[in-house]
Amino acid sequence: MATPTKTIRLRPKLRAEIERIARRSRRSFSDVAQTLLDEPLRAKACPGIYFADDAVSAHEVGNIEVGDEEQLVFAARHGRCLVSRNARDFRALSLAAVAQRRPHAGIVLCSPRLHGSDVGAVVTGLMKIAARSPRSLGEYDVLYL
């Protein structure tokens, strides 16, 4: 069954920014808009749950258009564990990091079995990892939810 189409009126400046991001990342306007809307909506679904006082999203630090390798480098530089649904690419990047002796601060990957809308399962998995590793993950750790 096809997803019903909805219309939203965007301010010209916002529309131009989404178009710029879409061109630069070679993604559709719709995909970029959905990505930008998805993250805050998921956060709203889990009110009151904070994993760290300084947890940040790629969007908050201006990395929404940045490639996977740059995301991992940014996280490593700031001592942050990276959490992603992109298991295939980040698994390959983690293997390359080991081969090139480029440590990172850990990667947590969502299993393909976890649906994006199942925020509760992601939250539960992250809480279990935090309980097992309260200080941090190892510099080459890759864990799956």
Condensed to tens digits (0 to 9), the pLDDT of residues 10-47 reads 888 888 888 888 888 788 888 878 777 765 655 554 44
Is 4 inside any structural domain?
no
Is 103 inside any structural domain?
yes
Placement of tokens 């969502």 in the chain: 110
The pLDDT assigned to 46 comes to 42
Three-state DSSP class for residue 23: helix
Against a cut of 0.75, is the pTM above it? no
Is 33 in the same domain as 64? no
Question: Angle CA(50)–CA(67)–CA(13) in degrees, nearest 5?
Answer: 80
Calculate the average pLDDT of the chain.
78
Is 1 inside any structural domain?
no
Domain of 28 in residue numbering reads as 11-44
